[in-house]
Amino acid sequence: MARARCPAWRSTGAGSGSPCRSHTPAAPAAAARSWPPRPSPFSRSRPPPHPAPPAPLGIGDRLFPHLGNPGYDVLAYDIALDYHGPSRPLDAVTTVAARTTGHLRRINLDFTHGTVRSVLVDGVRAGYATAGEDLVVTPRAALPAHRRFAITVRHTSDPRGPARGGWVRTRDGLVMANQANAAHRVFPGNDHPSDKALFTFRVTAPKDLTVVAGGLPAGRTRHGSRTTWHYRARHPMATELVQIAIGRLAVVRRSGPGGLPLRDAVPVADRARLEAWTARTPRQISWMERQVGRYPFETYGVLVADATTGFELETQTLSLFERELFTGVGGLAWYVESIMVHELAHQWFGNSVTPRRWSDLWLSEAHATWYEARYADEHGGARLTERMRQAYLLSDIWRREGGPPADPRPADPGDQIGIFRPVLYEGGALVLYALRQEMGPAAFQRLQRAWVRRHRDGVAGTDDFVRLASRTAGRDLTGFLGRWLHGRTTPPMPGHPRWRTVEREEPRKGAPAALPAAKPG
């Protein structure tokens, strides 16, 4: 919901409590000298002005205007969940440790689809109200700028209801799919990728179930018929990348390159059948490390869900895959492996280096698709040049339907994954192909390595990429990349003057298409 903000809001600092504070204009000089004096507008005989009602905020992201909240930076989340079955709400306690960036009279958290039971700020009970998809917290005293604080929310986390992201029910439990804007359907927080933080998870479930989560295990405690599983992430993470899975899962451990601890979580009944696929992860990591450098996190693994999602997802350190990807492909090993590499590549591009705004999403999906296509090219799939030629053919259609790669159109209301269009996947990879043609392969690889090294564990945007590309190439590429990233039509492809686009997609006869369908992940 849009709402106007007056200059007082901007001057007093975002989140100061009221977008338009009540100001009493100064009285004229003659009136000030009158006798008897008029009552002060702030005297006890007159009630103070009422604060503005709670309202949803946002940081102004063009694609999700009400996502995220101004006035603070989250440092860490501690999320405790008590699981009672896939058809009942989980009992939850979420503690958000943060630092104010301005004076705050109220604190907005993104949260919906759950019941709030109590809120504490620094251990003291605080007032709260809901406004749209925000939980608006009013501490007993305003928080000054640059102050650390902690909000503890006791709430429910509800896996029931419409499938709009967040919890996803499996055959015997739950997994999480928060992309793009659904983490706040699970826990309260600052649900925007620009505010990354550390995470600790404590999940209690019946003892016959297994819990896995992002990061490394940090202990397990048995309480009669229930077990609490403890995980901790060592690197900052965006809320959309959080993963917690509960169910009858087999956890398979192995070592990756350099002794990297790997763990896969698969349905117990499918452990033997899926081993042929999950055992390929170490060589996939080795391949990616040869392209862009050392794997950026403390662990990695594949989570296979017995559920229908329609997509795979790069949740940090534990990528989510549909069971059907591995059991229903009819022998297309190169295709399955290339999709696995797509999610693996996201650990560098999207997870370690996270888009600053959702309009920068092409930086994640373009690079993941680029390495997916390169891996397929080297392992029996479509040749890279032919795949890019086919993408070029359709590029104007994609731009017309979804906008340019770095200026995508918003999704339809209620369809948060609607922003994941072909123009970001194959269309974004086409931009990288054009850039490699323009820079040369050696300079392009230096750019790739420098990008993930320079912005590791941080956030970055399109302008950052353009500047680094120009610096690496030794010349200004602003105009070149501007046309490719923001143009309504596709520029000429360097080195391929005969490549053409089409106005509409024609059905293809004969061999299957070289381009797999784009989908989130």
| pLDDT < 50: residue spans in the chain | 1-49, 509-518, 520
pLDDT tens, position by position, 336-387? 999 999 999 999 999 999 999 999 999 999 999 999 999 999 999 989 999 9
User: Which residues neighbour 309 within 8 Å (Cβ) at sequence distance 6 or greater?
Assistant: 168, 177, 320, 322
Q: What was the pLDDT predicted at 21?
A: 29
> What is the phi/psi pair of residue 131, to 5°?
-145, 110
Helix and strand element counts for the chain (H, E): 12, 21
Q: Which helix (H) or strand (E) holds 389?
A: helix 384-402
Q: What was the pLDDT predicted at 296?
A: 98
What is the C-alpha radius of gyration for the chain, rounded to an integer number of angstroms?
Answer: 25
pLDDT tens, position by position, 21-64? 233 333 333 333 333 333 333 333 344 445 678 888 999 999 99
pTM: 0.87
Quote the tokens at residue 150: 């902690």
> What is the phi/psi pair of residue 357, to 5°?
-130, 160
Q: Give me the amino acid identity at 188.
A: P
Q: What was the pLDDT predicted at 236?
A: 98
Q: Give me the amino acid identity at 342.
A: H
Strand partners, 197: 237
Q: What was the pLDDT predicted at 9?
A: 26
Buried b / exposed e over 24-44, threshold 16 CB at 10 Å, is: eeeeeeeeeeeeeeeeeeeee
Q: What was the pLDDT predicted at 202?
A: 98
Instruction: Report whether 113 contacts 185 (CB < 8 A).
Output: yes
CA distances from 324 to 55, 218, 318, 339, 425 (A): 43, 31, 18, 13, 22
User: Which residues neighbour 414 within 8 Å (Cβ) at sequence distance 6 or greater?
Assistant: 164
User: Which residues neighbour 7 within 8 Å (Cβ) at sequence distance 6 or greater?
Assistant: none
Instruction: Report whether 119 contacts 152 (CB < 8 A).
Output: yes
